[in-house]
Amino acid sequence: MTDKLESLNPATGDVVGVHAVDDPASVDAAVARARHAARWWTSGTFDERRQVLDQWSGVLTRRMAQLADVVHQETGKPHGDAQLEIGLAIEHLSWAAAHAGKVLGRRRVPSGLLMANQAATVEYLPLGVIGVIGPWNYPVFTPMGSIAYALAAGNAVVFKPSELTTGVGVWLADSLSEVLPDQALLQTVVGYGETGATLCRADIDKVAFTGSTATGRKVMAACAESLTPVVIEAGGKDALLVDEDADVLAAADAAAWGAFSNAGQTCTGVERVYVHERVHDRFVEELARRARRVHAGTDADAQLGPMTLPGQVDVVRRHIDDALSRGGRAVVGGPEAVEGRFIQPTVLVDVPEDSTAVTEETFGPTVTVARVRDMDEAVRLANGTSYGLGSTVFSRSRGPELARRLRSGMTAVNGVISFVGIPSLPFGGVGDSGFGRVHGPDGLKEFTYAKAVARQRMRPLLALTTFDRTPKADASFAALVTALHGRASQLVGRPLDLR
């Protein structure tokens, strides 16, 4: 008997979809179909691929409300928030389709004086079949960060959505089949973690994984068996810094959205805030005022939905309890903010830096705010984490300088999570937040391999790579290298000026 997977509405517990789980044989069959589609897709031009992907963008745009309904039902997030992530995903799809040719297409590169007789070119060729494994928190935007770029680069995709948002995954693959009914360019395989593990061991050319750091480790271990490369987009513990000269109201507004939107279930959500002591009290007051205006629920005015993942409620409760039992204070919310699957916004202050509320990813609508003497201390504390996904800086005079000192893949200056809406910017982390990049030119290249070609245009002046090489050629070569690089050796010992 085939196993069934029930998709539930997290707000009501209602079953909103029943899907047959793919066993290993059917995952392998999907990969084989994808391999066939990839051959066809690669044989086309960038322009032809762009036309198909633009048609798909059109379908997604026209059906945005319908897809938003599926996202709303499976995650519980407000319809408007679902629409926001779909709109941004469409923007990325269009960008990837439009820019793939320019970023990946063949181009001449200098061949250098020593190899002046050669014409050198580089291009970025598709890998083949990409396995995409996605999370549930942004079930359209997040996997599309890999799917759109992998397809635009000329690959076929087999997508294993989170078991909590299977309906969204099936909807996405069906919508592309409307444009391309005869080619299995994007297929969804259904299942739990086991299905993801099966996909990692299938005959694929790369895995793009987005999810928790713990699962990322398992994905990497499975892929190591066959030397299958991976992109890991994992969790975060993002910090927001507020400088003494910052626009405090704007910073409080950004902190509220960054911490509470999507009920805090955002990989680049704001989980920690470090505020200059001169503006700390005013910032906390403004943040608290905003937090009190936001509420989680099922009513039409609710800006926050439920915790999509049942187990997350306990994590959030544990972090709040740990913060309070170790001397922290809840300015808004607290333990009573946890009302079953719904959690009301919680602002915590005076929390020790080694509390789990500060050290572990909470993934709920809570935020810690700490007072700092200066921005050096803020940078040090913000960087005191094994994660390094996103970060935010509010400062009128030092934004870019502070941004650069933060160990994170992306930083928003005087805005929040703004980098995700700019398709030409790469997205990804360092440390426990993973490695590799989606979005932008780097995101396109992530799903390709560099192909270098050196073509001999004329016979070399110096025949060096032959057993007929003469002592004269050796001497000429030594003289040439000395002429080209000898001057640098005279500088050895002099102090370097690296400004």
Which residues are annotated as catalytic?
A: 233, 267
- Please work out, in degrees rounded to the nearest 5, the angle formed at the alpha carbon of residue 447 by the alpha carbons of 153 and 34: 75
Positions in 422-481 near ligand NAD (CB under 6 A): 429
- Interface pick for ligand NAD out of 64, 117, 175, 192 (rule CB under 6 A): 192
Taking CB under 6 A as the criterion, the residue among 24, 87, 101, 193 binding ligand NAD is 193
Q: Residue-wise over 426-447: b if at least 16 C-beta within 10 A, else e?
A: bbbbebbbbbbbbbbbbbbbbb
Site track for ligand NAD across 257-276, x = CB under 6 A: ----------x---------
User: Which amino acid makes up residue 16?
Assistant: V
d(CA 208, CA 233): 8
Provide the phi-psi class of 316: left if phi over 0, else alpha when psi is between -120 and 50, else beta.
Answer: alpha
Instruction: Give whichever of 74 and 233 is closer to ligand NAD, judged by the CB atom.
Output: 233
**Shortest Å distance, C-beta 201 to ligand NAD:** 9
Which listed range, 92-100, 159-167, 317-325, 451-459, lies at the site for ligand NAD (CB under 6 A)? 159-167
215 binds ligand NAD (CB under 6 A): yes
In angstroms, what is the minimal distance from the CB of 254 to ligand NAD? 19
Radius of gyration of the chain (CA): 26
- In the block, residue with structure tokens 């909590």: 164
Structure tokens at 404: 């650069």
Q: 366 Cβ partners below 8 Å, 6+ apart?
A: 259, 264, 271, 316, 319, 320, 333, 337, 343, 345, 346, 347, 348, 357
Which among 43, 63, 308, 9 has a CA at the least distance from the CA of 175? Answer: 63
- Report in angstroms how near the CB of residue 465 gets to ligand NAD at its nearest: 46
Report which residue's Cβ sits closest to ligand NAD.
Answer: 196
Nearer to ligand NAD, 193 or 297 (CB): 193
- Pick the closer one to ligand NAD by CB: 284 or 416: 416
Footprint of ligand NAD on 382-411 (CB under 6 A): 389
Stretch near ligand NAD under the rule CB under 6 A, chosen from 25-33, 63-71, 207-215, 337-345: 207-215
In the complex, the smallest distance separating the C-beta of residue 310 from ligand NAD, rounded to whole angstroms, is 11
Comparing CB distances to ligand NAD, the nearer of 160 and 405 is 160
Complex with ligand NAD: residue 207 or 337, whichever CB lies closer: 207
Encoded one letter per residue, x for contact with ligand NAD by CB under 6 A and - for no contact, window 125-144 reads --------xxxxxx---x--
* DSSP H/E element including 74: helix 64-75
Q: How far is the CB of 251 from ligand NAD (least distance, A)?
A: 23
Q: How far is the CB of 429 from ligand NAD (least distance, A)?
A: 6
Q: In what order do the strands lie in the sheet with 118-126?
A: 107-109, 118-126, 448-456
Six token digits for residue 330: 């809840």
HSE-up of residue 489 (Cα within 13 Å, Cβ side)? 6
* Contact stretch for ligand NAD (CB under 6 A) within 156-164, 180-188, 317-325, 395-403: 156-164
- 183 vs 265 by CB, closer to ligand NAD: 265
CB of 267 to ligand NAD, least distance (A): 3
Q: In angstroms, what is the minimal distance from the CB of 210 to ligand NAD?
A: 5
One residue of 127, 140, 197, 275 binding ligand NAD per CB under 6 A: 197
- Please count the residues of this chain forming the interface with ligand NAD, following the rule CB under 6 A: 31
Tokens of 303: 């800006």
Among 196, 258, 333, 440, binds ligand NAD (CB under 6 A): 196
Of 215, 169, 171, the residue nearest 193 (C-alpha):
215
Bridge partners (DSSP) of residue 208 are 132, 231
Give the whole-angstrom CA distance, residue 388 versus residue 159: 26
Q: What residues have CB less than 8 Å from 156, skipping those under 6 apart?
A: 34, 35, 37, 38, 41, 128, 129, 130, 184, 185, 186
Whether 167 contacts 17, CB under 8 Å: yes
Q: How far is the CB of 110 from ligand NAD (least distance, A)?
A: 36
Listed residue (15, 75, 135, 168) closest to 6, CA to CA:
15
Residues 218-247 that bind ligand NAD (CB under 6 A): 218-219, 233-236
291-350 residues in contact with ligand NAD (CB under 6 A) are: 309
Strands 338-339 and 329-332 turn out to be unpaired
By CB under 6 A, residue 212 contacts ligand NAD: yes
Interface residues with ligand NAD (CB under 6 A) are 133-138, 142, 160, 162-163, 192-193, 196-197, 200, 210-212, 215, 218-219, 233-236, 267, 309, 361, 363, 389, 429
